[in-house]
């Protein structure tokens, strides 16, 4: 697949973190802020705290609990949703996202955010950015109790959003999610090469992609 042919697309499915919003907030929160607070709460060094948390990560990636703030609150003894507000100033759009969404509206495309983020996190980010006002619908995988990596997620999604998989585009920075959508049958798939503004781009993907949304031609 090359870049999307917009005349062949009716529905644009959009990941949130690392696609529409800068992944720097999430990386900073989980890799720096949470370990610091965990160390403080449990009387550990930050290195010890990170080592303990890393043990908890094993086997969770790609499951719903990986994205569940309630799970991490129970596991760490920390009010994870509240802690996100400590660093909410780092929440922000990726470059050219607002212009892209405005163009989608002008072209008559239906835009649907599909995110694995917990609803508490979604709500904070919408409150901070107003992103929900720029798209047609926002869906969290927690609504379905299935992550996007699961085929069942897409079944649930199509029941709620009766889109034509042959005329739909998914943009997501997760390779595992793109592979799941590909297996389910979504025709148009695109990745993001630069999800975190504070890290170097990563173009190691078998899916076509963009660095920023101004690369599209309409």
Q: What per-residue confidence (pLDDT) applies to 96?
A: 98
CATH architecture of the domain with residue range 6-22+92-215: 3-Layer(aba) Sandwich (3.40)
**Distance spanning both ends of the chain, measured CA to CA:** 17
* Residue 19: closest CA among 78, 97, 124, 119: 97
Mean pLDDT of 14-30: 96
Q: Which residues contact 163 (CB under 8 A, 6 or more apart)?
A: 10, 11, 13, 110, 112, 157
Q: What's the pLDDT tens digit per position in 8-17? A: 999 999 999 9
Q: pLDDT tens-digit profile of 56-110?
A: 777 677 678 878 888 889 988 999 999 999 999 999 999 999 999 999 999 999 9
How far, in Å, CA of 49 to CA of 145, rounded? 29
Bridge-partner residues for 209, per DSSP?
191
Question: Over the chain, what HEC string results?
Answer: CCCCCHHHCCEEEECCECCCECCHHHHHHHHHHHHHHHHHHHCCCHHHHHHHHHHHHCCCCCCHHHHCHHHHHHHHCCCHHHHHHHCHHHCCECCCHHHHHHHHHHCCCEEEEEECCCHHHHHHHHHHHCHHHHCCEEEEHHHCCCCCCCHHHHHHHHHHCCCCHHHEEEECCCHHHHHHHHHHCCCEEEEECCCCCCCCCCCCCCCCEECCHHHCCC
Asked if residues 178 and 193 have their Cβ atoms less than 8 Å apart, the reply is: no
Rounded Cα–Cα distance for residues 53 and 160 (Å)? 36
Predicted confidence (pLDDT) per residue in 170-210, tens digit? 999 999 999 999 999 999 999 999 999 999 999 989 999 99
Q: Where are the domains of the chain?
A: 6-22+92-215, 25-89
pLDDT at residue 1 in the model: 46
């Amino acid at each position: 697949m090359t870049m999307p042919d917009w005349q062949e697309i009716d529905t644009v499915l959009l990941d949130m973190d690392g696609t529409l919003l800068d992944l720097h907030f999430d990386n900073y929160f989980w890799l720096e802020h949470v370990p610091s607070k965990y160390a403080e709460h449990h009387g550990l060094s930050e290195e010890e705290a990170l080592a303990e948390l890393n043990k908890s990560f094993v086997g969770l990636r790609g499951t719903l609990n990986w994205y569940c703030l309630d799970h991490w609150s129970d596991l760490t003894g920390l009010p994870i949703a509240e802690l996100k507000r400590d660093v909410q100033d780092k929440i922000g759009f990726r470059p050219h996202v607002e212009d892209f969404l405005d163009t989608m509206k002008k072209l008559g495309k239906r835009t649907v955010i599909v995110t694995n983020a917990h609803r508490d996190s979604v709500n904070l980010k919408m409150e901070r950015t107003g992103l929900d006002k720029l798209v047609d619908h926002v869906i969290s995988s927690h609504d379905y109790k299935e992550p996007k990596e699961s085929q069942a997620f897409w079944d649930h999604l199509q029941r709620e959003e009766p889109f034509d998989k042959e005329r739909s585009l998914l943009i997501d920075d997760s390779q595992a999610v793109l592979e799941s959508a590909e297996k389910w049958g979504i025709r148009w798939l695109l990745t993001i090469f630069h999800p975190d503004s504070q890290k170097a781009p990563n173009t190691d993907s078998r899916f076509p992609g963009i660095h920023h949304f101004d690369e599209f031609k309409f």
